[in-house]
Amino acid sequence: MHTPLYTFALLWFFSTIAVLHTEEASLNGANDPVKALLAGEFQWQISQPLFAPAESDADRYYSVKDPSIVYHGGRWHLFCSVRGQKRSHQIEHLSFTDWDQADKAERRMLTNHPGFFCAPQVFYFTPHKKWYLICQASDDSWEPKYGAAYATTPDISDPDSWSKLRSMDHRSANEKRGLDFWVICDEKNAHLFFTTLDGRMWREETTLDKFPTGWSEPVLAIRGDIFEASHTYRLKGLNKYLTFIEAQGGHGWRYFKAYLSDRLEGPWSPIADTRDKTFANMKNTRPEGDRWTDCISHGELLRDGYDQNLSVDPQNLRLIFQGVLDRDRGGKNYGEIPWRLGLLTPVQ
C-alpha cells in the first residue's frame, strides 16, 4: 500500500514530465502557429462541402472550382470557375455573411466576357480605388489570344458592374503559355506570377503607376516538382511572403507545396516541398465528418484584408479549396470532374 507522500511524489513526477513535454512541443512549434508555419509543419481539418455545382435549366454544370474570396462590407464575396456542358469556362459570384449559410447564397454568372474565362483572383487596388478581377481568358482580338486578363468595378457586390475583360499584355515565358495568373503588390511594384505546367513558376513586374500593363520580361521564380495554381501572400507582421503551389502524385492526386521569401523577387526557400512534408495533402488533413475528397486542389487563403498586398494572418491560416473523390472523377474527362469547394482550418 502506497503512503500519501509516495503518491504525491508520483503525481509530481508525472505532472513535471507532462509540463516538460508541453514546453518541448511549444518550442518545436506544435502550439505556436507562426513557429509551425516557419518550420513547414501544417495540420488541417477539412470541413464538409460548402458548395456544389448549381442546378440550372440554362446548362448542365459539372463543377465549381478555382475559388477567390474577400471579406468586405460585412460579407464574403466568392468568385469561382464553373465548368458546364454548353459553356466550358465562366466565372460565378456568390455573397454571404455566414459560412453555415453559404450554400444558400444567390449565384450570379459574370456577364462581362462572352468567351472562355476562368481561374479568378479578386482584390481592391487602392491607387485606382477600384476592384480588380484577374483571370485567364481568351479572345480572338488579343495577341496572343489566350492569357492574363483583367476587369474592374467600383462595386464588388454587383456582378453586372464589371467592365469588359481586357488583355494585360503580359509576356510569355520561353514561348510557353501561362495559366493561373496571380497578382500581388509591394510598396513600389505589382508582381504577376504564373506557371507553365513544366515545373516552373514565373514572375513579371510592373510599377504601380503602370498597372495593370507594362509588364517586364518573365524571370524564373521557382523550379521543381510543381504543377499549377500558385498563390502568394504577405504574412502579416513577419516581413515575409508565402507561396504555395499545386503538385501531383503525393498523398492524394493533387496537393500543395510551400515556399517562403523575404521579398517578392525571391529567392524562395522550400519549407514543405516533399511528398511527406507538404502544405496540404491527404496525409496532414482530417475530415470533420464523412470523407468527400481524396485530394487538395486549387485554393485560396482567407485574407486579413482585401487590398493588393494580399495580407494573411499567420496565426490563423484558412484555405478554401476544391476537392473530389477518386471514385467520382474516375473515367471522366477533366472538364466533367465534379469538383466541390471546402474549407481547411488549422488543427489546434
Write out the E strands in 196-237. 200-207, 219-223, 228-235
% of residues, the chain, pLDDT over 90: 86
pLDDT of the residue at 174: 83
State yes or no: pLDDT of 159 exceeds 90: yes
pLDDT in tens, 143-155: 888 999 999 999 9
pTM of the model: 0.91
State yes or no: pLDDT of 163 exceeds 70: yes
8 Å CB contact between 122 and 131? yes
Residue 278 burial (C-beta neighbours within 10 Å; 0-12, 13-18, 19+): buried
- For residue 174, how many other CB atoms are within 10 A of its CB? 10
Write the Ramachandran bin of 73: left for phi over 0, alpha for psi from -120 to 50, otherwise beta.
left
pLDDT of the residue at 30: 53
Q: How far apart are CA 287 and CA 202, in angstroms?
A: 34
Q: What grid cell was written down for 345? A: 482550418
Kindly report which listed range (22-36, 49-63, 129-143) carries the lowest average pLDDT score: 22-36
pLDDT band at 20 (very low <50, low <70, confident <90, very high): very low
State yes or no: pLDDT of 334 exceeds 50: yes
8 Å CB contact between 264 and 206? no
pLDDT of the residue at 2: 52
8 Å CB contact between 194 and 178? yes
pLDDT in tens, 200-246: 999 999 999 999 999 999 999 999 999 999 999 999 999 999 999 99
User: Bridge partners of 130?
Assistant: 125
Residue given cell 444558400 in the structure block: 104
Q: What grid cell was written down for 76? A: 464574403
Q: How far apart are CA 266 and CA 306, in angstroms?
A: 23
8 Å CB contact between 288 and 45? yes
CA angle 112, 113, 115 (to 5 degrees): 165
Q: What grid cell was written down for 197? A: 505546367
Q: What is the mean pLDDT of residues 283-289?
A: 96
Which residues 6+ apart lie within 8 Å of 17 measured at CB?
none
Q: What grid cell was written down for 233? A: 501572400
